[in-house]
Structure 1
Amino acid sequence: MSRRPAPAVGFEEFVVVRGHALLRAAYLLTGDAHAAEDLVQAALERCAGRWDKLGEQPEAYVRRVMYHLNVSWWRRRRSRPESLVEEPPETPAAGHDEATVVALLLQGALRRLTARQRTVLVLRFYEDLSEAQVADAMGCSVGTVKSQTSAALRRLRQLAPELDELRVRQGGVS
């Protein structure tokens, strides 16, 4: 039985150096700052006790734990009914630069996707994982990842058509 080499950095140093990046990914997965903090904390808690066994790239392991925890959490939340609002959230106030407007619009649209769709998009396009890696992280087939990605992108276009308008205005492909 081969033993993985110990991580190059200690647990505390890892949290200080990579904690913010983990929190950003968790926020994109959950759509909520408090839930993101809980997700990162729970993942780090699970990894802390076996830190010396995680190998050369402990961040990949921590992120995988985050994805699995998030899937478990949204499966439990799925049984609770969604609360709908009469009016959509306000659009960003004038005076923001275009990058901020795009970020706020995208965050709002991501929050309105199902947790599974949001997870697929974050893993594919923010974390830049392949379809096979996403399938492995989510515990589903590659075909499911493809169909969920397609459905999520279609839903994003419905929820935030202004994002597509911005892309076209900036010279993107129409």
Structure 2
Amino acid sequence: MDAEAQESFREFVANRSSALLRTAVLLSGGDRHAGEDLLQNALIKAAGRWHRIDEPEAYVRQVLYRQQISRWRLKWRARELSVAEPPDVGADGEASAAAELRLLMRGALARLTARQRTVLVLRYFEDLPEAEVARVLGCSVGTVRSTTHRSLARLRALAPELGALGPAGGERRPSDDYSPVEVRS
């Protein structure tokens, strides 16, 4: 790698590594160390091909997704996640409530299968449409839809207190993937 490409790569890592790390941690079920390993491996692959990459962030994210898919296909045994007790509610109740919510979400996501977690991260954290998630995972759109449905149902069962955060009165937000259809009699 020449000096210009090396400087470009360093700048990319400095500017985008925190956002990429958040995605990697979510993909690895909240395990920061596994997320760091996932990101480091993706950046190593990107560095080797840096002069041929047109969109570096898209490339690194694609490598992250594919590496995570490879990890759960290997069916590694899930390691226990050790976390400290959540902080006591102090003067700043909102901050501790947000921390409790993050811990609750992390715990619930960690109890999903790697495939379920990956689909939810791609759909709702990365905000990818179903067709793009299907392309990334190498499956059909129907598989993405059914996996998303089952994953959300399991997430609701694992952490029912998350249901209070959704739309009021059980309202459902229409999916952005579908356009309204006029029905004629």
TM over 0.5, shorter chain? yes
Gapped runs of 5+ residues in structure 1? 1-6
Q: Which runs of 4+ in 1 moved over 3 A?
A: 80-84, 89-94
Question: Matched residues in 1 for 2:47 and 2:79: separation?
Answer: 36
Give the 3-state SS of the residue equivalent to 2:139 in structure 1.
coil
Residue aligning to 2:156: 157
Question: Matched residues in 1 for 2:52 and 2:71: separation?
Answer: 26
Counterpart of 1:22 (choices 11, 20, 45) is: 20
The 5-angstrom pairing of residues 88-127 of structure 1 reads 92-95=86-89, 97-127=96-126
Give the 3-state SS of the residue equivalent to 2:37 in structure 1.
helix
Question: Matched residues in 1 for 2:132 and 2:21: separation?
Answer: 20
Q: CA deviation at 1:97?
A: 2.6
Q: CA deviation at 1:50?
A: 1.1
Question: Matched residues in 1 for 2:84 and 2:159: separation?
Answer: 12
Give the 3-state SS of the residue equivalent to 2:63 in structure 1.
helix
Q: CA deviation at 1:173?
A: 4.4
Q: Quick one: structure 1 residues 91 and 135, their matched pair in 2 at CA, closer, same or farther if it must change by over 3 Å?
A: farther
Q: Report the aligned-residue RMSD.
A: 2.3
Counterpart of 1:60 (choices 42, 58, 61) is: 58
CA deviations 1:2-22 (Å, max 9, x no partner) are: xxxxx9x81111111101111
TM-score by length of 2: 0.78
Residue aligning to 1:136: 135
CA deviations 1:7-60 (Å, max 9, x no partner) are: 9x81111111101111100000002111101100111111111112111x2101
Give the 3-state SS of the residue equivalent to 1:149 in structure 2.
helix
**Percent of aligned positions that are identical:** 52
Give the 3-state SS of the residue equivalent to 1:10 in structure 2.
helix
Q: Quick one: structure 1 residues 42 and 82, their matched pair in 2 at CA, closer, same or farther if it must change by over 3 Å?
A: closer
Residue aligning to 1:4: none
TM-score by length of 1: 0.82
Larger radius of gyration: 2
Question: Matched residues in 2 for 1:81 and 1:73: separation?
Answer: 10
The aligned amino acid for 1:27 is V
Question: Matched residues in 1 for 2:52 and 2:15: separation?
Answer: 19
Q: Quick one: structure 1 residues 150 and 49, their matched pair in 2 at CA, closer, same or farther if it must change by over 3 Å?
A: same
Q: Quick one: structure 1 residues 132 and 105, their matched pair in 2 at CA, closer, same or farther if it must change by over 3 Å?
A: same
Residue aligning to 1:3: none
